[in-house]
């Protein structure tokens, strides 16, 4: 990036942290930007009005996936109107910084595999990307462990009906029956992982 840009950040008071070639975001700046997100993402169990499902947990989510998700709202491959409005004005730097902040909120999550046999069986085709314990194996893929059950169901149904566009997940979700979806979302929601970023 240009030096002019880093000189500008001097006035923001954290110039020494801002590397001109920063490949990853500034979690501290992200925490400040995230203030506007907490009204929904920072309230445990807060619901989207219609259709009704819980606003997804972002704490501990993978950074590159968070950036991709926000870009999806920017380019319309994800259609949620409020999130599209939220993402519309974000710069690339904002996306990186927000992702750095939310992904940094991770406790010791790589744990408990769960004991839901129907869920474990249905999840066999998912582990290659979403991990043995629902913790994604690459930063590009979302962690599912601990996510709200009704949000996971909403997401899978969106891949199934094509309202959320992603070629990989469209293919993964297409053969699932309603029973498969029910077992999968119950299983992933029961695992330890993502957290609501509750405001103190």
Pick the binder of ligand HEC from 1, 12, 32, 39 (CB under 6 A): 39
- Quick note: the x/- pattern for ligand HEC over 93-122, rule CB under 6 A, is -----x------------------------
Q: What is the largest CA-CA distance in the chain?
A: 56
C-alpha to C-alpha distances, 147 to 54, 114, 122, 132, nearest whole angstrom: 9, 14, 17, 15
Give the contacts of 72 (CB within 8 A, at least 6 positions apart): 78
Pick the binder of ligand HEC from 9, 104, 166, 190 (CB under 6 A): 166
164-171 contacts, C-beta under 8 A, 24 or more apart: 164/77, 164/78, 164/79, 165/77, 165/78, 166/77, 168/129
Pick the binder of ligand HEC from 18, 27, 63, 66 (CB under 6 A): 66
Count of CB atoms within 10 A of residue 176's CB? 18
Both tokens assigned to 53: 């499902």
- Quick note: the x/- pattern for ligand HEC over 169-198, rule CB under 6 A, is x--x-----------x--------------
Pick the binder of ligand HEC from 5, 112, 168, 199 (CB under 6 A): 168
Pick the binder of ligand HEC from 105, 155, 183, 189 (CB under 6 A): 155
Both tokens assigned to 79: 């259609």
Binding site for ligand HEC (CB under 6 A): 36-37, 39-41, 48, 55-56, 58, 66, 68-70, 72, 78, 80, 82-83, 86, 98, 125-126, 128-130, 141-142, 144, 152, 154-156, 164, 166, 168-169, 172, 184
């Amino acid at each position: 990036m240009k030096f002019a840009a880093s000189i500008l950040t001097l006035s923001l008071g954290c110039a020494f942290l801002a590397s001109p070639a920063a490949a990853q975001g500034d979690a501290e700046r992200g925490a400040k930007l995230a203030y506007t997100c907490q009204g929904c993402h920072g309230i445990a169990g807060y619901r989207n009005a219609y259709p009704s499902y819980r606003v997804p947990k972002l704490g501990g989510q993978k950074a590159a996936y968070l950036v991709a998700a926000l870009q999806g709202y920017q380019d319309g491959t994800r259609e949620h109107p409020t999130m599209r409005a939220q993402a519309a004005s974000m710069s690339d730097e904002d996306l990186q910084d927000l992702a750095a902040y939310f992904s940094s909120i991770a406790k010791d999550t790589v744990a408990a595999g769960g004991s839901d046999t129907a869920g474990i069986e249905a999840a066999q085709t998912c582990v290659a990307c979403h991990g043995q314990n629902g913790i994604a194996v690459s930063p590009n893929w979302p962690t599912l462990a601990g996510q709200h059950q009704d949000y996971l169901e909403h997401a899978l149904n969106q891949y199934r009906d094509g309202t959320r566009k992603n070629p990989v997940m469209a293919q993964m979700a297409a053969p699932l029956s309603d029973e498969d979806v029910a077992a999968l979302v119950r299983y992933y929601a029961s695992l330890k992982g993502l957290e609501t970023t509750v405001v103190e």
